[in-house]
């Protein structure tokens, strides 16, 4: 179990809104190991984002269990979960959530600033910007970049803390097929360097062959393929 970064055991997540109960994830069981890349495929609304949120400790299961390492997520205080995410989880969000008023390198640097784990946060952020192929553009604002380049900034930001787990939620949804495949390859290459576990959710059938083990989400149910 030492290589297992995160796992779910019969994890169910139910959201309630005005008396309406929505079962977003239904009894999902999955283990994510260091150095492995998993793909979660399925249409929009099938529960992929909620599954990633459970693995990344952003939400707690309504029933069943979620673990990060050997720690039960239910037993962690809110502050402990926040600290864990800052230090050990990298997120690439579907809506990139880049801050438009600061530069590329400052966007990449943010996790280091929040976690206060690096004395040379600017230098490390510059290295990541270079590694994703944006050398010379580190002082531009995100709005001055193409969508594909902005996605590279989001990837660099997710990796700047050398996380154990990288979660990429529909990272190719706004890209053409060629650029999307390059982004998936970039995520895989950079994560192998730090031996991180990777989970990529997508409904893009064209990138499946670039992922490792594939799971399918259908109406909240996770199915190994």
pLDDT digits (tens, 9 = 90+) for 15-32: 998 888 999 999 999 999
The domains of the chain are located at: 4-97+154-224
**What's the CATH number of domain 4-97+154-224, 3.40.50.1100, 3.40.640.10, 3.40.50.1860, 3.40.50.300?**
3.40.50.300
What residue has token string 């984002």?
Answer: 49
Q: Tell me the DSSP string of the chain.
A: -TTEEEEEEEEEEEEEETTEEEEEEEEEEEEEETT-EEEEE--TTSSHHHHHHHHTTSS--SEEEEEETTEEGGGS-HHHHHHHHHHHEEEE-SS----TTS-HHHHHHHHHHHHT--TTHHHHHHHHHHHTT-TT-TTS-GGGS-HHHHHHHHHHHHHTT--SEEEEESTTTTS-HHHHHHHHHHHHHHHHHTT-EEEEEE--GGGGGGSSEEEEEETTEEEE-
Compute the C-alpha angle 27/170/37, nearest 5°: 70
* Nearest by Cα to 117 from 97, 88, 155, 79: 88
126 is written with which tokens? 């510059």
Whether residue 90 contacts residue 161, with contact meaning beta carbons closer than 8 Å, is answered with: yes
Whether residue 107 contacts residue 153, with contact meaning beta carbons closer than 8 Å, is answered with: yes
| 123, 126, 130, 135: CA torsion to nearest 10 | -130
pTM for the full predicted model = 0.92
What does the pLDDT read at residue 1? 47
Q: pLDDT class for 119, splitting at 50, 70, 90? A: low
| Distance separating alpha carbons of residues 89 and 191, to the nearest angstrom | 12
What does the pLDDT read at residue 206? 74
φ, ψ (nearest 5 deg) of residue 37: -115, 125
Interval 92-104: pLDDT, tens: 988 889 999 999 9
Q: pLDDT class for 82, splitting at 50, 70, 90? A: very high
Whether residue 57 contacts residue 66, with contact meaning beta carbons closer than 8 Å, is answered with: yes
Q: Across the chain, what does the average pLDDT equal? A: 91
Beta bridge partners of 23: 14
Whether residue 61 contacts residue 12, with contact meaning beta carbons closer than 8 Å, is answered with: yes
Over residues 58-79, mean pLDDT: 95
Query: Between helices 147-159 and 177-193, what is the axis angle to 10°?
Result: 20
């Amino acid at each position: 179990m030492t290589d297992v970064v995160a796992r779910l055991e019969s994890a169910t997540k139910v959201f309630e809104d005005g008396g309406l109960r929505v079962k977003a994830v239904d009894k999902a069981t999955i283990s994510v190991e260091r150095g492995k890349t998993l793909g979660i495929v399925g249409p929009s609304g099938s529960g992929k984002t909620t599954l990633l949120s459970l693995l990344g400790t952003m939400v707690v299961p309504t029933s069943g269990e979620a673990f990060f390492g050997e720690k039960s997520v239910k037993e962690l205080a809110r502050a402990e979960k926040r600290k864990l995410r800052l230090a050990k989880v990298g997120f690439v969000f579907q809506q990139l959530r880049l801050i438009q008023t600061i530069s590329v390198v400052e966007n990449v640097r943010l996790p280091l600033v929040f976690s206060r784990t690096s004395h040379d946060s600017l230098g490390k952020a510059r290295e990541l910007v270079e590694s994703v192929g944006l050398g010379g553009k580190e002082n531009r604002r995100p709005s001055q970049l193409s969508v594909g380049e902005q996605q590279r900034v989001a990837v660099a930001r997710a990796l700047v803390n050398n996380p154990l787990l990288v979660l990429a939620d529909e990272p190719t949804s706004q890209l053409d097929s060629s650029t999307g495949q390059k982004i998936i390859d970039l995520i895989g290459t950079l994560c192998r360097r730090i031996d991180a576990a990777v989970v990529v959710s997508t409904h893009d059938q064209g990138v499946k062959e670039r992922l490792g083990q594939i799971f399918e989400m259908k109406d909240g149910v996770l199915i190994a393929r």
